Structures are given as structure tokens and as C-alpha cells.
Amino acid sequence: MPFTFDDTAQLLGIGRNVMTKKLREMRVLDSTNKPQGRYSGKGYFVVANSSWNHPTKGKMPYQKTLVTDSGLQLLEYLLIKKPEEEKMQREAPITCGTRNITPYQAINALLELANKSCGSSEIAAAVLLSTYNIYEYKLDLGGLCLLDFNYYLSALVVIDLRCRMNTEPHSLIENGGAIFQQLATDWSHLHNNNTH
């Protein structure tokens, strides 16, 4: 039997309003809390017709979104497990040489360097942009030789994150999309205009 949003939120251990807000932000639900896009018509939700009694107009019809068993599993993954996985990935240190560096630390170190006005700033920006969008930005490996050791290790961690874990760096920091869009604007000359 499908679950109401109240029941679903209680089973997941989060507030109903918080749950629906996050699902709208993720584009799972539209502004009227109906499933949308790839989440519509997949058996995750049921939109049921119902009605309520208006004091003067009588029965008023409305549609109510309910969550199926598979939808509950999906929402548990999207709202609970996926954020935990991303947190672990962001905070799990990677051993590089004799140091342990988390991807979060590495990304922020390179962002800080990219926003400075020094000779290594362009290399830091190139590492970040090429791991952000491998099709539109290319990294000159020779540039890595110009980084000091700590930034070099951070670059290796970010490259490893992208190549081995298939994770784009912007996904691990708050407001990552906007930050990396600004980085792309600031370093627009690094864009590869010969992409296919």
C-alpha cells in the first residue's frame, strides 16, 4: 500500500516539509509535489484522486502524490544514503606520498591557488576545470611540474578523484556548480575550442 508524504517522512526520519523541499530541489517533484522527469511513470509514485469538503462548495477534488515501496527505497537512497556516501567520499583521506589529503581539502587548496595572482594559479585552474569537464578543458601535464609539493599532491588527489572514482570536483563542495562556473569564466582562455 502506498505511503503518504507524512508517513514517508516519518519512516525516513526527516520532516515532511524538509523532504518535499529537497525533492523539489532535486527535481524529483514539481512545484505541486507531483513526480516529474525521469521519476514520473516509473512506479516510484502514485498520483491518486481525492477530495475534501469545502464549507460552502461541498466536495472539492484534488490530486495527492503517494510513495510506493520502490519509491520509498529511492527516497531513502536520494535523501539519506547518497548524502552519506558523498560525505564519506569528500572526507575520506587519500594517501599521497607521506600525506593523507581529503578530496575536500585538495579541491579547496586548488581553488584558493586558482584565485590568487601567481604563476601557479593557471595550473590549479586547469587541473580543476579539466576534472570538472574533461571534454572542454585539457590539462598540460608539464604544468604540474611547476606546482609546489603540497599543491602537486592536491592536484593528484583531484585527478584521482575524477579518474578512479568518476567524481567531478564541484559535486563535493557547497555551491560547487556556481563556483566552477565562475572559475570557467575567470579562466575562459583555458577552454578548448576544438572539442567535438
Over residues 149-164, the pLDDT tens digits come to: 889 999 999 998 888 8
Residues 99 and 68 in one domain: no
The answer to the question of residue 48 being in a domain is: yes
117 in a structural domain: yes
Residue 74 is assigned to a structural domain of this protein: yes
**What gap in Å lies between CA 101 and CA 147, rounded to an integer?**
16
* Interval 68-101: pLDDT, tens: 999 999 999 889 887 777 766 666 666 656 678 8
The helix or strand, by DSSP H or E, that contains position 10, with its residue range, turns out to be: helix 5-12
Question: What are the helix and strand counts (H, E) for the chain?
Answer: 8, 4
**77 with 124, same domain?**
no
User: Among candidates 83, 79, 84, 101, which has minimal Cα distance to 92?
Assistant: 101
Q: According to the model, what pLDDT value does residue 195 have?
A: 41
- Which segments of the chain have a pLDDT < 70? 87-98, 194-196
Q: Are residues 50 and 80 in the same domain?
A: yes
Residue 107 lies in a domain: yes
Residues 139 and 167 in one domain: yes
The residue among 31, 58, 87 that closes a domain is 87
How many domains are there within the chain? 2
Of 56, 87, 118, the residue at which a domain comes to its end is: 87
196 lies in some domain: no
Closest CA to 15 of 78, 65, 79: 79
Does residue 10 lie within any of the structural domains? yes
Q: Is 195 part of a structural domain of the chain?
A: no
Whether the pTM exceeds 0.85: the reply is no
Tell me which residue has cell 606520498: 97
Query: In 50-195, which ranges are continuous DSSP H helix?
Result: 69-76, 82-91, 103-114, 121-132, 149-163, 176-186
Same domain, 80 and 15: yes
Q: Give the pLDDT confidence score for residue 92 in this predicted structure.
A: 64
Q: How many CB atoms lie within 10 A of CB 57?
A: 7
76 and 163 together in one domain: no
- Domain match, 146 and 98 both: yes
| Statement to judge: residues 59 and 129 lie in one domain | no
Give the structural domain span for 60: 5-87
- In this structure, how many other beta carbons lie within 10 angstroms of the beta carbon of residue 4? 14
pLDDT, position 96: 59
pLDDT at 100: 81
180 and 109 in a common domain: yes
**81 within a domain of the structure (yes/no):** yes
Where is the domain boundary, 53, 68, 87?
A: 87
CA 173 to chain centre: 8
